[in-house]
């Protein structure tokens, strides 16, 4: 019996074997097609209920099975899972197109869409109807048969390429190891990092210290190791992932993905992929995005150049004549220490992972009345995953929450929030969500617990902000629930929560020394605040460079003329580059956000959402960061509403006005 085809509440990880996935997906596709047939064969007049709502709740089994499968492919993959992903992706792509190109179904949706003003629908129902109608139109429902077939081929090919892109990066990340046997070469590296590297070596039956391209290994290495040659070696290995003309090379994949996306948007009547994507964003079009990015660039670049010159002259004391990328983190940390007397290593003892996690739970309770109880009654896919039952102050069940914090071979780099089940309402009541966050933090060693860098603390808060958006969802329809919002709005709940990490009131809750239990001293809190804008110009410029690279790939009118990924990238970086180019390195071939994740033509949304989050947090601060009234407004108008209405409408309902970009510039210290 296939556990994925039996009814289940939480994902039955312990019963699932790899062999179950493909048959379950094939069977669930068949069932989902039958759900669609019920709508198209219905001889009654199309109504909102028998067409739009029935379509919304069709294929629920398939959605759950694929969410389990693709989440595992990101967090706990292996060769077999990757092979299955390559086999099922075209099937899923075909199925999606079977729906989107189904003329009978579209006709029924169109009939209701044309009557929408006379149907007395709620705002949420109007949004659902608009979304469904656009889903057809934006996916080729109005195309002729020949073009529909072309679209199918493009979608199938693109989904396979995107999977392969991610597999190649994971393979290249796993393939590199720096094995050191002479401790003198690791001068500068803190004791905790040395111990972690020793543990990694031990796990692979090697003497000495082993370093990898996983963030918890790579970032401290680049920040502290004095040996410049070794830093260069690590940096070049990191920058060369999937850019080595070997079987894991992503250059052709980048060119092919970009061409396919462009071809697809042209087929649908759009000038470029960016025009297609941004039609469904707060930003609306590429011109607006470019104006936004260039405006920020104008304000950030002078500060970035000043900071860069300051770093360069600081490094000159060590006779560094040509300041390179592999010098940046090392000298930034040294300069920060000199200017603010702040050392990341001073902070880490106050950020034991368990304390930070309990801290974010407490903050969620103070703001939104949520309680987290660790449980072992639901399955997990790995022993490192912890699970929680989330309830409100009345004891009502709100969500299940999964947390997966440490790097391992089958897990991709970075941090993300995801869900195993959305929230929705039906005749059985309010069906609650199952939410997960996945990170790559420093593992505990034999002598120390997992101690986070301050950057890792803000990452945990960021992902937990997304998780709150998922957990507090309270909508009728699953496709409008939680984080199912405009892509440039989705980062607001995550980024706004990061602000609490800088506030004494919040730090007092969780920043306790892991040995003594004493609270983080006030002078350290002050140093965190004082240094929060350190090198902000360079940081902003770096983010803008990624956004501009993304827009360059997707808003040009003739991607088929691009022959060299590296040369194209160099041109895109021209206005934002501070460092000399490294010939062996390429950003695009490992830019998972835009070539594997959903951020194509959307990377700008991090900065866009920063404007929203700075403005929103200013509002929180007016009455105190734990003010219940403000938190309730945020919960009622943002966190619980998902994508039920236009994001600007929701934001203005919370804030009382449109966001002001000056709030961001002021916070970043870029406002003169």
Asked if 475 contacts 481 with a C-beta cutoff of 8 angstroms, the reply is: yes
End-to-end CA distance of the chain: 67
- Segments of 393-453 assigned E as strands: 397-404, 416-421, 424-426, 429-431, 434-438
Residue 299 and residue 297: Cα distance in Å, rounded? 5
Q: List the catalytic residue out of 307, 463, 503, 618.
A: 463
DSSP structure class, residue 3: G
Residue 253 and residue 268: Cα distance in Å, rounded? 22
Strand 397-404 versus strand 386-392 pairing type:
antiparallel
Would residue 453 be called left, alpha or beta, if left means φ above 0 and alpha means ψ between -120 and 50 degrees?
A: beta
Task: Please name the residues in contact with 5: beta carbons below 8 A apart, sequence gap of 6 or more.
Answer: 23, 24, 27, 28, 61
Strand 209-211 versus strand 178-180 pairing type:
antiparallel
Q: Which residue has the tokens 């510039």?
A: 665
**Sign of the torsion formed by the C-alpha atoms of 13, 15, 17 and 19:** negative
Give φ, ψ of 387 to 5 degrees.
-125, 150
Instruction: Tell me the β-bridge partners of 417.
Output: 437
**What does each C-alpha distance from 403 to 354, 372, 435, 438, 471 come to in angstroms?**
11, 12, 9, 6, 13
Q: Can 463 be counted among the known catalytic residues? A: yes
Task: Please name the residues in contact with 22: beta carbons below 8 A apart, sequence gap of 6 or more.
Answer: 84, 87, 88
Percent composition of the chain: helix, strand, coil (DSSP 3-state, to 5): 60, 5, 35
Asked if 349 contacts 451 with a C-beta cutoff of 8 angstroms, the reply is: yes
**What does each C-alpha distance from 54 to 2, 16, 67, 98, 619 come to in angstroms?**
26, 29, 21, 17, 40
Residue 318 and residue 295: Cα distance in Å, rounded? 36
Catalytic site positions = 463
């Amino acid at each position: 019996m296939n556990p994925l085809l039996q009814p289940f509440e939480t994902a039955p990880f312990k019963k699932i074997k790899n062999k179950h996935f493909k048959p379950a997906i094939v069977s669930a596709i068949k069932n989902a097609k039958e759900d669609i047939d019920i709508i198209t064969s219905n001889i009654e007049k199309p109504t909102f209920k028998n067409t739009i709502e029935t379509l919304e709740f069709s294929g629920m089994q398939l959605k759950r099975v694929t969410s389990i499968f693709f989440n595992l492919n990101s967090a706990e993959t292996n060769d077999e899972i990757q092979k299955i992903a390559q086999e099922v992706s075209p099937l899923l792509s075909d199925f999606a197109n079977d729906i989107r190109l189904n003329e009978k179904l579209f006709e029924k949706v169109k009939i209701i869409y044309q009557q929408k003003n006379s149907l007395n629908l709620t705002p949420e129902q109007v949004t659902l109807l608009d979304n469904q109608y656009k889903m057809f139109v934006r996916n080729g429902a109005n195309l002729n048969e020949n073009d529909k077939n072309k679209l199918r081929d493009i979608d199938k090919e693109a989904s396979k390429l995107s999977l392969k892109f991610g597999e190649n990066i994971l393979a290249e990340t796993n393939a590199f190891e720096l094995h050191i046997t002479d401790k003198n070469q690791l001068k500068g590296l803190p004791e905790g990092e040395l111990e972690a590297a020793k543990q990694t070596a031990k796990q692979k039956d090697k003497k000495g210290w082993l370093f990898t391209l996983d963030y918890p290994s790579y970032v401290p290495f680049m920040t502290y190791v004095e040996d410049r040659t070794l830093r260069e070696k690590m940096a070049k290995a990191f920058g060369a992932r999937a850019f080595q003309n070997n079987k894991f090379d992503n250059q052709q994949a980048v060119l092919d993905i970009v061409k396919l996306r462009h071809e697809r948007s042209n087929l649908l009547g759009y000038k470029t992929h960016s025009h297609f994507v941004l039609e469904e964003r707060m930003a609306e079009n590429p011109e607006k995005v470019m104006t936004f990015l260039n405006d920020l660039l104008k304000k950030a670049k002078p500060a970035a150049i000043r900071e860069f010159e300051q770093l360069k002259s600081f490094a000159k004391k060590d006779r560094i004549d040509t300041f390179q990328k592999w010098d940046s983190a090392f000298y930034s940390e040294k300069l920060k220490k000199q200017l603010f007397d702040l050392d990341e290593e001073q902070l880490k003892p106050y950020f034991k992972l368990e304390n930070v996690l309990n801290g974010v739970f407490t903050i969620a309770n103070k703001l939104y009345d949520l309680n987290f109880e660790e449980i072992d009654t639901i399955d997990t896919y790995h022993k490192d995953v912890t699970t929680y039952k989330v309830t409100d102050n009345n004891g009502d069940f709100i969500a299940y929450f999964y947390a997966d914090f440490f790097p391992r071979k089958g897990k991709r780099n970075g941090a993300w929030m995801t869900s195993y089940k959305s929230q929705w309402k039906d005749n059985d009541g309010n069906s609650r969500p199952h939410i997960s966050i996945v990170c790559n933090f420093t593992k505990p060693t034999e002598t120390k617990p997992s101690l986070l860098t301050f950057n890792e603390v803000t990452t945990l808060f960021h992902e937990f902000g997304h998780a709150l958006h998922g957990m507090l969802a309270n909508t009728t329809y699953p496709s409008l629930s939680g984080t199912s919002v405009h892509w440039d709005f989705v980062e607001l709940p995550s980024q706004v929560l990061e602000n609490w990490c800088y506030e004494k009131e919040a730090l007092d809750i969780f920043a306790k020394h892991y040995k003594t239990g004493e609270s983080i001293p006030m002078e350290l809190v002050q140093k965190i605040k004082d240094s929060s804008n350190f090198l902000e110009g360079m940081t902003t410029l770096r983010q803008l460079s990624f956004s501009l690279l993304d827009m360059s790939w997707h808003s040009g009118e003739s991607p088929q003329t691009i022959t060299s990924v590296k040369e194209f990238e160099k041109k895109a970086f021209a206005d934002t580059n501070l460092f000399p180019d490294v010939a062996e390195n390429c950003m695009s071939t490992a830019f998972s956000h835009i070539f594997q994740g959903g951020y194509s033509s959307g990377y700008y949304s991090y900065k866009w959402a920063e404007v929203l989050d700075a403005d929103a947090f200013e509002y929180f601060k007016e009455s105190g960061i734990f003010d219940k009234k403000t938190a309730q407004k945020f919960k009622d108008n943002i966190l619980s509403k998902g994508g039920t209405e236009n994001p600007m409408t929701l934001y203005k309902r919370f804030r009382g006005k449109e966001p002001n970009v000056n709030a961001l510039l002021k916070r970043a210290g870029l406002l003169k």
